[in-house]
Chains A and B, each alone.
Chain A
């Protein structure tokens, strides 16, 4: 018994904590995909998923925020009904939503990097507001650039057609999510794991 046990390489405690949070946040984003908010300008209902992509970067930081989004994509790809409207499978990652979905890990990473200025986490409530706003705007632009860019290529649309169909209608909703993200981090009620 002792011989094989000595070769067990335990995962470090702070890694386990961040990893557990990343996985649970990925599941939470999946659950939000099923909660659809009817929205007059959009042909399909909108969800709060992108708000939680922001939060992944803000609260988990660049490394674990990105990891969390990758877990979300991987779980969806192998069949967890986590993409908006309960969708699952590799298809949504390659279909017209693919650009949006693949932008999530990058956006969470970007927001995390800007807000935490590196991989050591700090309390996002203590970060100057303009930096947080700037990070969220940059993240949103990234999400929509990748999302509409890929959709335009995939569906043979002119850029302005893709923007009209996949971006413009959602701008008010995105502003709302940014405001909510700021309200959440400034509330100080979500503490990052200090390592």
Chain B
């Protein structure tokens, strides 16, 4: 469970989040929508302590993030835009192992997790391939595997589809759908809800640092009009 309690945050005196409260249960698939600069990225980076609130509190599994950063970061996996810049090694297996190595796990457990994570993103058996030689969609999936190898309860993805062509995007979506079906919570920020609305349990929309919509997809469509969010045609 991820819980925001009255979180406020400012960049250089400009309020980017104002008194945001939100609770996300395990296994939920939540979409974060909103115009450019509405605060989605800022909000999500609080989930694992990459940003710390100016006031208020963020809790992961009832523990404040600031009290146990390691727990927050291993329970909430995070994947950013531009997967190309998120790899620490030249080959797939060495990169996916980075998270579990940092957790100090045994070599055996690390190998098991790398295998499982690659399996979950449909990249099983490709440990030795050079990341540089992979397609954009494959790179995105390896980046997701890097987060999954920490065995998080939630996976946060911030605009994961930028730069991906349609088949690549679909291959990533399909993996998210199966992860969600297996019980991993997914928090996905995007401008374009057209292909993802059907997968979600819940849509949270932001404007100017506030949550202005928090509805199941069926009811969110109407509320989203006027927020510069692309929604599927009815």
Contacts and interface: CB of A to CB of B under 8 A. Distances in A.
Interface of A: 2, 4-8, 10
Contacts of B139: none
Nearest to B71: A5
Contacts, number: 18
A7 B71 CA distance: 11
B71 A2 contact: yes
Contacts of A7: 104
Contacts of B104: 4, 7-8
A71 B71 CA distance: 31
Contact of B102 (A2, A6, A8): A8
B227 interface: no
Tell me whether chain A's interface is mostly helix, strand or loop, or mixed: mixed
Across the A-B interface, give the 7 residue pairs with the lowest CB-CB distance, nearest first.
A8-B70, A5-B70, A4-B104, A5-B71, A8-B104, A8-B103, A10-B69
Interface residues of B, number: 9
A186 to B, nearest CB: 24
A68 B200 CA distance: 44
Nearest to B63: A2
Contacts of B103: 4-5, 8
A123 to B, nearest CB: 16
A21 to B, nearest CB: 12
A15 B166 CA distance: 38
A160 B105 CA distance: 58
A5 B100 CA distance: 11
